[in-house]
């Protein structure tokens, strides 16, 4: 199923002359269009990489934002130049960047290597979704400002991650704690923007540099690479740029997803010596070069003494009690779903077990992140799905909890390879 979709029916899309004219005249030969509009599947959530609309359809920025993947493009088409200009103005901001200012193509029928005849002008503009969340909206987690930016020197889009403004943090706190005095909220906001966020973004930049130095090829292409760093007068990073690990267009099997994930985690843990600590599926990507991990903001070095920095020690102590992964580990341990002593040793601790515990869950439930759903071929009743589910159970609840066979990402990788061989032979 194609990712090209209008706001009306797909059947209607194929017969809208203005949209077809823009597709053929401005996009048909573009590499990104061919890779992400023609080949890529549509997400189960309805999100797409390219969204075309004509004047007869709704085109409010908020609605369009929800329909596009991060980095996706909205193309508005009309025979009226002024209408295109007015709609383009509404998309300047609102989480979008207008990449192609209003311009036009000629409506016509394309022949071999050239237009056979020329028709009326069809005007259009192109806006790319560059924000992760719509302006003014918040998520359950405190987060940085993250957006896509075109890098002229590199000739590609990059990800810019920066400490959020004091105003945005205070605004979020105000929504969560409306009864708290403004001065208290502002003091709390300053702590976040002047101490906590700078500390973690500085650590993330350092971790990415450690990973890039330590990762062998081709694993280095599956972790973001820090490109440019901006620091304040204290030496803390306030903003940094990294390459965009964009989810690709070619799906892989569940077994291959599991194998690549375990393999990469093994390299990150055992060759580079970094623990991620937040391996939710939201922090996985499936690029055309393989499964990758992003968001190393909570990561640590193996054996790192966090208590050398009192603030850092306090923050990680809180994180090990309140993070989504630790909460789930506690719930599953209490209910008896996790009995492995190797995993239980990581409870409320900075430990590799935190990563391979969550990895074990992800490989058997790969569709819990809707953005990855079209990129992982998962059939619950298949032999590979059944075997991976059994593997997850063996990891979490082994026959001998005190001496579990799976104590590392490498152990899990070996288990997955054995399944691959078994399923292939069967």
Note the pLDDT tens digit of each residue in 333-356: 999 999 999 999 888 889 999 999
Coil, strand or helix at 46:
coil
Looking at residue 162, its pLDDT comes to 95
Highest average pLDDT, of 32-46, 111-125, 183-197, comes from: 183-197
Nearest Cα neighbor of 274 from 334, 200, 350, 343 is 350
Non-local (6+) Cβ contacts of 137 within 8 A are none
Looking at residue 223, its pLDDT comes to 97
Q: What pLDDT, in 10s, does the model give residues 236-280?
A: 999 999 999 999 878 999 999 999 999 999 999 999 999 999 999
Task: Please indicate whether residue 111 or residue 369 has the higher confidence score (pLDDT).
Answer: 369
Coil, strand or helix at 365:
coil
Let me know: does 3 contact 40? Beta carbons within 8 Å.
yes
Looking at residue 12, its pLDDT comes to 43
Non-local (6+) Cβ contacts of 43 within 8 A are 69, 370, 371, 373, 374
Task: Please indicate whether residue 231 or residue 140 has the higher confidence score (pLDDT).
Answer: 231
**CA Rg value for the chain:** 24
Residue 186 has pLDDT above 70, yes or no: yes
Looking at residue 302, its pLDDT comes to 95
Let me know: does 405 contact 356? Beta carbons within 8 Å.
no
Q: Is the pTM here over 0.85, yes or no?
A: yes
- Print burial letters for 29-57: b (CB count within 10 Å at least 16), e (below 16): eeeebebbbeebebbeeebbbbbbbbeeb
- Print burial letters for 345-357: b (CB count within 10 Å at least 16), e (below 16): ebbeebbbbbbbb
Task: Please indicate whether residue 54 or residue 426 has the higher confidence score (pLDDT).
Answer: 54
Give 231's strand partners: 237
Q: What pLDDT, in 10s, does the model give residues 9-54?
A: 344 444 478 888 899 889 988 989 988 875 544 444 567 889 999 8
Looking at residue 374, its pLDDT comes to 85
Nearest Cα neighbor of 162 from 71, 70, 240 is 240
Residues of the chain with pLDDT > 70: what percent? 89
Q: Could you tell me the pLDDT band of residue 398, with boundaries at 50, 70 and 90?
A: very high
**Spatial separation of the C-alpha atoms in residues 203 and 350, rounded to whole Å:** 15
Q: Could you tell me the pLDDT band of residue 3, with boundaries at 50, 70 and 90?
A: very low
Mean pLDDT, the chain, whole residue set: 87
Residue 113 has pLDDT above 70, yes or no: no
């Amino acid at each position: 199923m194609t990712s090209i979709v209008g706001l009306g029916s797909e059947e209607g899309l194929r017969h809208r002359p203005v949209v077809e004219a823009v597709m053929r005249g401005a996009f048909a030969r573009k590499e990104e269009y061919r890779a992400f509009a023609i080949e890529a599947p549509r997400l189960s959530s309805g999100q797409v990489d390219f969204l075309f609309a004509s004047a007869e359809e709704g085109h409010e920025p908020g609605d369009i934002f929800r329909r596009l993947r991060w980095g996706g493009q909205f193309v508005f088409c009309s025979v009226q130049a002024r209408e295109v200009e007015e709609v383009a103005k509404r998309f300047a901001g609102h989480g979008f960047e207008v990449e192609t200012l209003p311009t036009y193509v000629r409506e016509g029928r394309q022949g071999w290597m050239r237009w056979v005849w020329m028709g009326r002008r069809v005007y259009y503009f192109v806006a790319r979704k560059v924000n992760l969340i719509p302006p003014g909206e918040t998520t359950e987690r405190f987060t940085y400002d993250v957006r896509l930016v075109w890098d002229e020197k590199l000739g590609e889009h990059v990800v810019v991650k920066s400490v959020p403004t004091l105003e945005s943090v205070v605004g979020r706190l105000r929504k969560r704690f409306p009864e708290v005095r403004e001065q208290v909220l502002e003091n709390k906001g300053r702590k976040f923007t002047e101490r906590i966020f700078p500390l973690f973004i500085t650590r993330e930049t350092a971790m990415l540099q450690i990973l890039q130095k330590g990762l062998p090829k081709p694993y280095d292409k599956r972790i973001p690479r820090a490109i440019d760093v901006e620091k304040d007068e204290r030496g803390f990073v306030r903003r940094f740029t990294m390459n965009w690990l964009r989810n690709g267009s070619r799906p892989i099997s569940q077994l291959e997803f599991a194998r690549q994930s375990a393999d990469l985690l093994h390299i990150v843990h055992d060759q580079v010596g970094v623990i991620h600590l937040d391996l939710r599926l939201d922090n996985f990507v499936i690029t055309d070069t393989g499964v990758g991990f992003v968001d190393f903001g909570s990561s640590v070095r193996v054996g790192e003494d966090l208590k050398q920095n009192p603030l850092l020690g306090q923050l990680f102590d809180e994180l090990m009690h309140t993070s989504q992964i630790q909460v789930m580990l506690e719930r599953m341990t209490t209910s008896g779903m996790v009995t492995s002593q190797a995993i239980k040793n990581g409870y409320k601790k900075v430990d590799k077990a935190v990563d391979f515990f969550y990895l074990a869950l992800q490989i058997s439930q790969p569709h819990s992140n809707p953005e990855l759903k079209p990129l992982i071929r998962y059939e619950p009743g298949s032999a590979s799905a059944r075997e991976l589910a059994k593997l997850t159970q063996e990891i979490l609840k082994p026959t001998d909890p005190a001496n579990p066979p799976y104590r590392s990402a490498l152990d899990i990788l070996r288990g997955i390879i054995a399944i691959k061989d078994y399923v292939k032979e069967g």
